[in-house]
Amino acid sequence: MDTPVVVSGLKKSFGATRALDGLNLEVRRGEVHGFLGPNGSGKSTTIRILLGLLRADGGTASLLDGDPWRDVTRLHRRLAYVPGDVVLWPGLTGGETIDLLGRLRGGLNASRRADLVERFQLDTTKRARAYSKGNRQKVALIAALASDVELLILDEPTAGLDPLMEAAFRECITEERGNGRTVLLSSHILTEVEALSDRVTIIREGRSVESGSLGELRHLMRVSLSAEIKGSPAGLQDMPGVHGARVEGSRLSCEVDPEHLNAVLQRLTTVGVTGLVCQPPTLEQLFLRHYREGESSGTRAAGRSPSGSEG
């Protein structure tokens, strides 16, 4: 019961296209889990299997200790879902749609609904056909967040929201975590996942390539370091764990493997430091590294670039 979502070795093909190819995903109770991947990497397919809309070809998926394909209504009463592409009934107003979706799920919290409408500044009397993409997104978000459910499944929920509304969304998710709800947050927006998630699963081409807390993942990553130094950093480039060192005048920048950071800093202090900026990797770098490695391996496999050297 401590892992609302357990997916292992999930496979799904659409005709000749392989959408999922052995995907693993584990979401723990009470966490915000970032589900990160480029467009078309299989995030929505995974979610739609978890919702029982698609049937997996192989592997297992368990949702709230049930079978997502068989236990549809029992499970769906305990979760709320915001699709990536929110399509509403053009003749229904936003307010009617929120109420309808909530009731189909088993009820809405009226005061939370009112509060959320206020916070997202939604005009609930407009017909859905008059709404912009961002407003349609708000309708789905309010309907999901105002439900008393254990699990929120959000598929790229902020696409179309303006920065103010995005901030309101982050605030809401932080509150939800405080209330003990579990959130599966699919996104390709790195800053959003970084700001909200406790743990992250990164997927690419239907396969999970990395999974863990942000701390654990950072551990795998090089630290970016830039320093103003007094003398010459002779030999620093050749130290173990130092990559891509560049010197421009008195400015040194390089990337350092975390386990060698101590030695590098000691060397720097012997040279003399007047300024130092040391940053953990952003999710962006983490993501780009996976992406680039995949690209270069793909290129090698295709035999287009025998050297295989990229950046």
Partner 1 sequence: MDSLTGTAALVRLALRRDRILLPACVAAFVIMVTFSASATVALYPTVESRIQAAASINSMTSLVALYGRIYDETSLGAVAMIKMGGLGAAMVAVLALFTIVRHTRSEEETGRLELLGAGVVGRRAPLTAALVVAVGTSLMLGALTAAALIAIELPVAGSIAFGLSWASIGVAFAAVASVTAQLTRSARTASGIAVATLGVVYVLRAIGDTSLGVAAWLTWLSPIGWGQQLRPFAGERWWVLALPLIFTAAVIALGYALAARRDLGAGLLPDRPGPAAAGARLASPLGLAWRLQRGVLLAWSAAFALLGAVFGGIAANVGDIFTSPESRAMIEALGGKAGIIDAFISAELGFLGIFAAAYGVQASLRLHSEEEALRAEPVLAAAVTRLRWAGSHIGIAVAGTAWLLVLSGLTAGAALAVQSNDAANVSRVLTGAVVQLPAACVITGVVVILFGLVPRAASWAWAVLIACVLAGELGALLELPSFVLDLSPFAHVPRVPAAEITAAPLLGLGAVAVTLVAAGLVGFRRRDVG
Structure tokens given for 31: 């966490």
CB of 123 to partner 1, least distance (A): 8
Query: Contact between 43 and partner 1 (CB under 8 A)?
Result: no
Query: Contact between 219 and partner 1 (CB under 8 A)?
Result: no
Residue type, position 7, single letter: V
Query: Contact between 96 and partner 1 (CB under 8 A)?
Result: yes
Q: Segment contacting partner 1 (CB under 8 A): 45-53, 204-212, 222-230, 242-250?
A: 45-53
Q: Segment contacting partner 1 (CB under 8 A): 71-79, 168-176, 186-194, 214-222?
A: 71-79
Query: Contact between 167 and partner 1 (CB under 8 A)?
Result: no
Structure tokens given for 3: 């892992």
Query: Contact between 90 and partner 1 (CB under 8 A)?
Result: yes
The DSSP call for residue 129 is: G
Query: Contact between 65 and partner 1 (CB under 8 A)?
Result: no
Exposure string of 95-106, with b = 16+ CB inside 10 Å and e = fewer, is bbbbbebbeebe
Of 125 and 307, the one with the shorter C-beta distance to partner 1 is: 125
Residue type, position 153, single letter: I
Query: Contact between 72 and partner 1 (CB under 8 A)?
Result: yes
Query: Contact between 307 and partner 1 (CB under 8 A)?
Result: no
CB of 6 to partner 1, least distance (A): 19
Query: Contact between 61 and partner 1 (CB under 8 A)?
Result: no
Q: First vs last Cα of the chain: how many Å apart?
A: 45
Query: Contact between 31 and partner 1 (CB under 8 A)?
Result: no
* Cα gap 83→141, rounded to integer Å: 9
Of 129 and 246, the one with the shorter C-beta distance to partner 1 is: 129
DSSP H or E run through 144 = helix 133-145
> Please, is 202 exposed, middle or buried when counting C-beta atoms within 10 Å of its C-beta (0-12, 13-18, 19+)?
buried
In the list 58, 60, 85, 220, the residue contacting partner 1 (rule: CB under 8 A) is 85
Query: Contact between 277 and partner 1 (CB under 8 A)?
Result: no
* Cα gap 304→298, rounded to integer Å: 9
Q: Segment contacting partner 1 (CB under 8 A): 101-109, 199-207, 208-216, 273-281?
A: 101-109
Query: Contact between 243 and partner 1 (CB under 8 A)?
Result: no
Query: Contact between 281 and partner 1 (CB under 8 A)?
Result: no
Of 126 and 300, the one with the shorter C-beta distance to partner 1 is: 126
CB of 205 to partner 1, least distance (A): 20
Residues in a beta bridge with 301: none
Chain-centroid distance, C-alpha 85: 17
Which residue in the block uniquely carries the two structure tokens 């467009």?
39
| 179 SS3 class | coil
| 56 SS3 class | coil
Looking at residues 121 to 160 of the shown chain, list those that interact with partner 1 (rule: CB under 8 A).
124-127, 129-130, 140
How open is the CA angle 110-92-108, to the nearest 5 degrees?
A: 20
CB of 165 to partner 1, least distance (A): 19
The contacts of residue 158 (CB under 8 Å, 6+ apart) are 137, 165, 166, 169, 187, 189, 192
Structure tokens given for 224: 């970016």
Query: Contact between 211 and partner 1 (CB under 8 A)?
Result: no
Binding site for partner 1 (CB under 8 A): 48, 51-55, 72-74, 76-77, 81, 83, 85, 87-93, 95-101, 103-106, 124-127, 129-130, 140
